[in-house]
Amino acid sequence: MQTIRSIEASQHVGQPVRLTGWLHNLRRLGGITFIVLRDGWGTIQAVTESEADLAPLQNAALESIIALEGRVVASPQAPGGVELHQPRLSLLVPTSEAPPVPLHKPTITAGLPTQLDHAVVVNRHPQRRAVYRLAAGTMAGFRRTLNERHFTEVQTPKLVASATESGANVFELGYFGKPAYLAQSPQFYKQIMVGIFQRVFEVGPVFRAEPHSTIRHINEYVSLDVEFGFIENHFTVMGLVREVMAGILGELATHYAAELALLEAEMPAVPEEIPHIHFAEAQELILRLHGVDVRGEPDLSPQDERWLGAWAQAEHGSDFLFVTGYPMGKRPFYTHPDPNNPAYSNSFDLLFRGTELITGGQRLHRYEDYLAALAAAKLPTEPFETYLEAFRHGMPPHGGFAIGLERLLMQLLQLPNVRLATLFPRDMQRLTP
Amino acid sequence: MQTIRSIEASQHVGQPVRLTGWLHNLRRLGGITFIVLRDGWGTIQAVTESEADLAPLQNAALESIIALEGRVVASPQAPGGVELHQPRLSLLVPTSEAPPVPLHKPTITAGLPTQLDHAVVVNRHPQRRAVYRLAAGTMAGFRRTLNERHFTEVQTPKLVASATESGANVFELGYFGKPAYLAQSPQFYKQIMVGIFQRVFEVGPVFRAEPHSTIRHINEYVSLDVEFGFIENHFTVMGLVREVMAGILGELATHYAAELALLEAEMPAVPEEIPHIHFAEAQELILRLHGVDVRGEPDLSPQDERWLGAWAQAEHGSDFLFVTGYPMGKRPFYTHPDPNNPAYSNSFDLLFRGTELITGGQRLHRYEDYLAALAAAKLPTEPFETYLEAFRHGMPPHGGFAIGLERLLMQLLQLPNVRLATLFPRDMQRLTP
């Protein structure tokens, strides 16, 4: 007999099938017993009125490993619309202890520390698992969109000889008698590789030693990075951001509908053109609409971003808004200035429902500009020697962006904490599980 | 005018096109000048007899960024079968210095240290770039094969609280006042996640602090990891290995023919069934064929593997050979023993042309078996607490394998050093570029 996946059962109505998985639930209702099996993709229930059918499950705790044979019967009131009759159960691997958190309840009510301490088992809960399956779908949609546009996927070193973007907030380790650092971002490498492949992307871990304990910070996360050459300016990059977001959300809508439904996700539409507003104009708008004068501030506050998000929704009916032209002062040294107004940059943030989701922009590409930018930032050139070598030997106008995978999921699913978008989060207190 | 990629030119014969890229070569032959443009995917030559056409390139070193317009003309003797006539050149970003290594010669003759020191530019060489494009294709083929089989892609933490497989050879760092370690492999996490997703894979960096300086060792590499549940034994895993190898090689043959041709790769065929031989039987075979008695040795030597590879070729016409049932003594504590002969394990190596390429096998899945195995290995249970929690709450028979991306490419392309299969290698001496 064929062993099928739980979510394939509805294609086998009237047939005998076999399933294997975890004993997800066992529920008695009058003389009827419902046995729920969970496999890697979903759950299915079997129904019996016979105590003899249940004999193999004596002394088996929930989460025991079982096999289940039976006939598939359409049953509108069963979850998934089908159930198994005349079940034949066998116990493959018994367990004796109840899970640390009930996995068969629709939602998890345990506190966050308990959930994280026991993530090894709690992540089996269908709702938690759905979040991580959407992570896989996000990576798939990201890659598909970029592969279709002839980008090359790369893997850059995570062990580096010197701290890159900011000297602080970097993890240091001993490397055969010398210090080494964990990469905070693939920024320099992805730019270097524009010289090799012209268009590149990477999906990989980044490490931030930031001593922040907030709902939005973790110290290791997955970064979806893009960089490409022969752009006009940051608007070329923003055009690609739009296509990548549409590609990710399209992938989720098409292939992960069950997960989105389980999590009651409100999926945004990506407009044909995402509205954009210049940083200075955004500050004027805030003054006009809310009477708060933030002109001259070098960055937007969370409140500013919420106001702008609300404005984009009201004015353009859009969950997304690009803010362009952030002041150069707060952007890293490799940022390309606005040629017409060099106090502002050719950079952008993408706000999603009033919170920053993606940062990107055009980078410097001339060797001389790098020397000048490093001098202006009072940075030595020596730690940047190999980075600079790429620019000495010809680099086109280029730019890119990065998406934090966990933050994207947190915002998309409106999770209360980024740790709930992370299989095994790392924060200041937590290195396990 | 449309800006096309170099490899698309043959679809535009007779039409005017525009290309952008790097000044790859400039060659004068009598009164004729060949201008070769390289973009992210290939090269194309333009031909002119007019000095005026070349004026924009005065003082432009090779690798300068250029744009090139012209009419596509079929030309059987031109590389790629087409060339551009009546070129109009413009210099977008000039450079003044020759590249550290000539990039327009068919092969690189510089020594390995020079190549690695200047990898930032040397990796632009079409041959070097082809290697890394095959890396991207390998990842794509790996993922496609597993996605088709309903595996879920995961990203596991690289910062861990305790050394996992072997206590030594692990990089240590300071983590907010506590020690942390870089993951040597996602082994424990991928097993834990069989409890969540049933079938998982990961593509990500692993870190080995092994103080070995050989042509086959680097200290950071990309591991392609697979783990899945409800297997019969290690033969189920070997069946998937075969499909994954066929999927990878099929992806390369289909989508990377130009790169394979450039590197003169001899692509192996993957037999419908890869031949297999038990470890003990392999030792008997070596005695019989070569008169060398290695029976009782706990592992195969490189010479043993070469002999077995030659035998698989002669006997089965296969570049691949599974050796099964390695002695338990040399395998990690989580290895499942052979139920019929517990001195041997349900594990395997895949030899490719006489060198080990993939290691895998069945793992223990019962909680009690883990307690016994840790006790037998004289290991404490405390560092494995969260790992063990997964087994306390139900884990099916499972197994998996791992492929080192760089070693696969090294063996497939017969590169003399694994560093030449790595964009920016990390070894005992090298942390840059």
pLDDT of residue A162: 82
Give the chain A residue nearest B125 (alpha carbons): A196
Mark yes or no for CB contact A196/B132 under 8 Å.
yes
Residue B130 has what DSSP assignment?
A: H
**Residue numbers in A near B120 (CB within 8 A):** 192, 195, 386-387, 389-390
- Where on the phi/psi map is residue A37: left (φ > 0), alpha (ψ -120 to 50), or beta? beta
Give the chain A residue nearest B384 (alpha carbons): A433
Mark yes or no for CB contact B197/A133 under 8 Å.
yes
For every residue of chain A, which 3-state class applies, written as one string?
CCECCHHHHHHHCCCEEEEEEEEEEEEEECCEEEEEEECCCCEEEEEECCHHHHHHHCCCCCCCEEEEEEEEEECCCCHHHEEEEEEEEEEEECCCCCCCCCCCCCCCCCCHHHHHHCHHHHCCCHHHHHHHHHHHHHHHHHHHHHHHCCCEECCCCCEECCCCCCCCCCCEEEECCEEEEECCCCHHHHHHHHHHHCEEEEEEEEECCCCCCCCCCCCEEEEEEEEEECCCCHHHHHHHHHHHHHHHHHHHHHHCHHHHHHCCCCCCCCCCCCCEEEHHHHHHHHHHHHCCCCCCCCCCCHHHHHHHHHHHHHHHCCCEEEEECCEHHHCCCCECEECCEEEEECEEEEEECCEEEEEEEEECCCHHHHHHHHHHCCCCCHHHHHHHHHHHCCCCCEEEEEEEHHHHHHHHHCCCCHHHHCCCCCECCECCC
| Nearest one of A79, A74, A39, A46 to A261, comparing CA atoms | A79
- 3-state class of B256 per DSSP? coil
| Nearest one of B135, B131, B180 to B158, comparing CA atoms | B180
pLDDT in tens, B42-92: 999 999 999 999 999 998 999 999 999 999 999 999 988 999 999 999 999
Q: What are phi and psi of B49, to 5 degrees?
A: -110, 5
Instruction: Name the strand (E) or helix (H) holding B312.
Output: helix B302-316
Alpha carbon distance B242, B239 (integer Å): 5
**Residue numbers in A near B135 (CB within 8 A):** 154-155
**Residue numbers in A near B38 (CB within 8 A):** none
**Residue numbers in B near A220 (CB within 8 A):** 157-159
pLDDT of residue A167: 59
Mark yes or no for CB contact A219/B132 under 8 Å.
no
Query: Contact, B357 vs B407, CB < 8 A?
Result: yes
pLDDT of residue A267: 95
Residue B396 has what DSSP assignment?
A: -
pLDDT in tens, B299-319: 999 999 999 999 999 999 999
Mark yes or no for CB contact B97/A158 under 8 Å.
no
- What residue ranges of chain B are covered by domains with CATH 2.40.50.140? 6-93
Nearest-Cα distance to chain A for B103, in Å, is 11
pLDDT of residue A278: 98
Instruction: Name the strand (E) or helix (H) holding B347.
Output: strand B347-352
Rounded mean pLDDT of chain B? 96
Q: What are phi and psi of A325, to 5 degrees?
A: 70, 35
Query: Contact, B95 vs A394, CB < 8 A?
Result: yes
Q: How far apart are the first and last CA of chain A?
A: 38
**CATH architecture designation of domain A126-421:** 2-Layer Sandwich (3.30)
The structure's pTM equals: 0.97
Residues paired with B200 in a beta bridge: B152, B227
Alpha carbon distance A309, A322 (integer Å): 10
For residue A238, the Cα-to-chain-centroid distance in whole angstroms is 19
| Nearest one of A160, A145, A142 to A206, comparing CA atoms | A160
Q: What are phi and psi of A272, to 5 degrees?
A: -50, -45
Q: The dihedral of CA A383, A386, A390, A391: what is its sign?
A: positive
Question: Is B398 in CB contact (< 8 Å) with chain A?
Answer: no
Residue identified by tokens 């209702």 is: A29
Question: Is A388 in CB contact (< 8 Å) with chain B?
Answer: no
Supply the Cα-derived Rg of chain A in whole angstroms. 26
Mark yes or no for CB contact B120/A195 under 8 Å.
yes
Alpha carbon distance B398, B180 (integer Å): 29
Q: Which of residues 131-160 of B touch A (CB under 8 A)?
A: 132-133, 135-136, 139-140, 147, 150, 152-160
Alpha carbon distance B292, B177 (integer Å): 54
- Residue A221 CA: distances (Å) to CA of A169, A424, A427: 14, 10, 10
Alpha carbon distance A374, A165 (integer Å): 12
Nearest-Cα distance to chain A for B351, in Å, is 26
What ipTM goes with this model? 0.97
Residue among A65, A198, A429 whose CB faces B40 most closely: A198
Mark yes or no for CB contact A390/B120 under 8 Å.
yes
Alpha carbon distance B155, A425 (integer Å): 11
Residues paired with A38 in a beta bridge: A22, A43
Q: Is the preceding omega at residue A433 within 30 degrees of 0, hence cis?
A: yes
In B176-287, the DSSP E strands lie at 178-182, 199-207, 220-229, 276-278
Instruction: Name the strand (E) or helix (H) holding B302.
Output: helix B302-316
Regions of chain A where pLDDT drops below 50: none
Alpha carbon distance B55, B35 (integer Å): 12
> How many C-beta neighbours within 10 Å does residue B372 have?
13
pLDDT in tens, A168-187: 689 999 999 999 999 999 99
Q: Angle, nearest 10°, between helix axes B385-392 and B367-376?
A: 150
Question: Is A235 in CB contact (< 8 Å) with chain B?
Answer: no
- What residue ranges of chain A are covered by domains with CATH 3.30.930.10? 126-421
Query: What is the interface size between A and B, counted as CB pairs within 8 Å?
Result: 249
Nearest-Cα distance to chain A for B331, in Å, is 24
Mark yes or no for CB contact B389/A197 under 8 Å.
no
Residue B52 has what DSSP assignment?
A: G
- Looking at the domain B6-93, which fold is it? OB fold (Dihydrolipoamide Acetyltransferase, E2P) (2.40.50)
Question: Is A331 in CB contact (< 8 Å) with chain B?
Answer: no
pLDDT of residue A1: 80
Residue among B65, B150, B182 whose CB faces A394 most closely: B65
Give the chain A residue nearest B200 (alpha carbons): A40
- Residue A225 CA: distances (Å) to CA of A150, A190, A358: 15, 8, 10
Query: What tens-digit pLDDT sequence spans chain B (433 residues)?
Result: 889 999 999 999 999 999 999 999 999 999 999 999 999 999 999 999 999 999 999 989 999 999 999 999 999 999 889 999 999 999 999 999 999 999 999 999 999 999 999 999 999 999 999 999 999 999 999 999 999 999 999 999 999 998 665 556 899 999 999 999 999 999 999 999 999 999 999 999 999 999 989 999 999 999 999 999 999 999 999 999 999 999 999 999 999 999 999 999 999 999 999 999 999 999 999 999 999 999 999 999 999 999 999 999 999 999 999 999 999 998 999 999 999 999 999 999 999 999 999 999 999 999 999 999 999 999 999 999 999 999 999 999 999 999 999 999 999 999 999 999 999 999 999 999 9
